[in-house]
Structure 1
Amino acid sequence: MNTRRNFLKTAGLATAAIGLGLPQLAVASKKVDPLFKISLAEWSLNRQLFSGKMDHLDFAKLTKKAGIDAVEYVNQFFKDKATDMAYLKEMKTRADGEGIRSVLIMCDGEGMLGAATAEERAKTVDNHKKWVEAAKFLGCHSIRVNAYSSVPWSTSEEDYKKSSDFASAGLHELCEFADGFNINVLIENHGGFSSNGKWLAEMIQKADHPRAGSLPDFGNFQIARKDGNAISYDSYRGIDELMPRAKGVSLKPVVWDDNGNESPLDYTKMMNLVLAHDFHEYVGIEHGEKDREWESIIEIREKLEAVRNSLA
């Protein structure tokens, strides 16, 4: 393992913000080309992958055919291959052969980063180490993890603080390991306390590590459901709070308000807000309509390209 690990180690925007009721933000004066880049999150094809209609190894090739040149992997689709060097080499060879950039790995099912005990958090960190190593080998800049906590979501101020303390401790520990591989550890708003933009921004800050960042998801601001009704957080405000530490963003074509209401994404409004934070990295499409996954992905790519051209 040590040999393998050593090998892997070497191997008009401010105005738009005001229009949103947000504080005025500094905008870089230099021209950036492209204004932002576009990637595809593998979860967009989850139905095809889970059903066996699509092979994970074909993800890069199919993404290229859809006019996108960067991918975001999901660990669920190669869960037993994280330490299989032959498989990872095949992934890398196929992506490189298509001219596809591997951006990050989204990691699920590896435990609670915000577990209540140091022992449980350490186990979760250990579970993620293989994904840090795989990300390094594939040429990714980050892994995406979850801030799930032993403290269930509630409106209690005590629970708000305890969950933040636990999650920030786990995040710091994982970042310490990932730093040795030049890999960032990103937290996505993914339900519960993490879908409260203020909580997540504060938790990442509390982790106190330069490798700790965010992967804001436009459509993941539903905190919980109670009596059949959604409890949610305003997507535009949440994105504004999370962008200062963002290393990427995930695009779902829906947003939430503070009252449990979901509505279609306003692409121009949201991208104005993202760009106001001087963000010019990957916007990852994470959406695929049932039985027309690729068609809907291409439609979103074309909308993003149109918005990018209009703002350039």
Structure 2
Amino acid sequence: MPHVTNRRDFLSRWSVMPLIAAGGFGLTSQVASAQSTVQRVGGSKLKLSLNAYSFSKALNDHIKGRGPGMTLFDMLDFCAEQDFDAVDPTGYFFPGYPAVPTDKFINDFKRRAFQLGLDISGTGIRNDFCTPDKAARAKDVQHIKEWIEVSAKLGAPVIRVFATNQRSGKPEGYSWDEVASWMADDIRECADHGEKYGVIVGVQHHTYFLKTTDQMIKLLQLVDSPWCGLIVDTGCFLSADPYAEIETVLPYAVNFQIKEKLYGQESDTRVDLVKLFQIIQDSGYRGYIPIETLYLKNEVYDPEVRTKSFLKEVRLALAKTKESPPVASNDTRKSDHSEKL
């Protein structure tokens, strides 16, 4: 009986054959397998979205009864007034989180977004896969699975998850590779569930465990699923050249968080939006680019004012960038359907 090669094995071998033929035996973590990168055609197309975390205090004030604050429906109205293409409603701000919202709330929210001409570009939840406590990780896997199903009901194509949301990062007594191995298993289980519901799992890297582009790419390759990719958080690249780092990981991007500053909340280095968007355009990325403003220490923060101001900067920068030319179809995409031949 002839040996049957499954799709994953075929693609993995196919993707490295040219390198082996060229003597490329010393493969690095930046060499992508065919199923790890996103194959794009048609040139770049960017759609503006707002990440709900920009209004975190106002949304939390309403949910926690600390005053009128702002509802998610108020945020939808704001996004329509500012002519966003989409909205990214973080799960934290749904009633009852971490429990899943009712179908009625989901459907009412989805209907209102549709009436306002807004797509739902994604959503996100809290989790921590860095802990050696297997039971705790299993609880978070279940949490993500439940919110994958919420995402599908919302029509959100991507759900954001963390490697960890703890600043302490890697637990003591374990190597990075050990932690990455169990983390990849957990994320892969979530991605398999995402496949059932048509929702991609996007890993937001932060800087707590995934500190370098090599580490980001290595984790995605360990997960080894076309239903998992990277949320490119532009405020969380730590090298002297964050733009080069961003360019390196763009083939893995499934969504973004575009922030005002390069090194997170404590930095005074504002992002060069023209340079950033030119890199994104040149990569051929097609999809949403949610923007996110953050409260900074020792400043008066008005989310509406800041969001309007940043959105204006973003639009001006986009107007100055040159769209990439359409990308021709390539043979790589054909291999994705090889099992059907």
Fold similarity call, TM over 0.5 = yes
5 Å-filtered alignment, 1:215-234, equals: 215-221=231-237, 234=241
CA distance in 2 between counterparts of 1:97 and 1:143 reads 23
Task: Pick one of 239, 245, 248 that aligns with 2:246.
Answer: 239
CA distance in 2 between counterparts of 1:207 and 1:292 reads 40
Task: Pick one of 88, 104, 123 that aligns with 1:86.
Answer: 104
Query: Paired residue for 2:83?
Result: 67
Question: Which protein is bigger by CA-based radius of gyration?
Answer: 2
Q: Is the 8 A contact 2:129 2:162 kept in 1?
A: yes
Task: Pick one of 117, 137, 143 that aligns with 2:153.
Answer: 137
Query: Paired residue for 1:169?
Result: 185
- TM-score for both structures, normalised by structure 1: 0.78
Q: Point out which structure has higher relative CO (alpha carbons under 8 A, 6+ apart).
A: 2
CA distance in 1 between counterparts of 2:278 and 2:200 reads 25
Which amino acid counterpart does residue 67 of structure 1 have in structure 2?
Answer: D
Q: Is the 8 A contact 1:151 1:162 kept in 2?
A: no
In the TM superposition, what whole-angstrom CA distance separates every residue of 1:244-283 from its partner, at most 9, and x where no partner exists? 11111111111139xx965110111111222222113111
- What secondary structure, in the 3-state scheme, does the structure 2 residue paired with 1:171 have? helix
CA drift at 1:212: 0.7
Q: Is the 8 A contact 1:75 1:105 kept in 2?
A: yes
Aligned-residue RMSD, C-alpha: 2.9
5 Å-filtered alignment, 1:142-153, equals: 142-148=158-164, 153=169
Task: Pick one of 213, 228, 234 that aligns with 2:229.
Answer: 213
5 Å-filtered alignment, 1:101-116, equals: 101-108=119-126, 111-116=127-132
1:300 equivalent to 2:307? Answer: no
CA drift at 1:153: 3.6
Q: 1:200 to 1:91 in 2, by over 3 A?
A: same
The runs of 5 or more residues in structure 2 that have no matched partner are 1-39, 63-68, 323-341
Q: 1:213 to 1:92 in 2, by over 3 A?
A: same
- Greater helix content: 1
- TM-score for both structures, normalised by structure 2: 0.72
Q: 1:297 to 1:160 in 2, by over 3 A?
A: same
Q: Is the 8 A contact 1:168 1:207 kept in 2?
A: yes
CA drift at 1:154: 6.2
Q: Is the 8 A contact 1:115 1:167 kept in 2?
A: no
In the TM superposition, what whole-angstrom CA distance separates every residue of 1:152-183 from its partner, at most 9, and x where no partner exists? 54699962212211221111111011110010
CA distance in 2 between counterparts of 1:156 and 1:249 reads 31
1:99 equivalent to 2:109? Answer: no
Give the total of aligned pairs: 271
CA distance in 1 between counterparts of 2:290 and 2:169 reads 27
- Give aligned-pair identity as a percent: 19
Which amino acid counterpart does residue 119 of structure 2 have in structure 1?
Answer: R
- What secondary structure, in the 3-state scheme, does the structure 2 residue paired with 1:242 have? helix
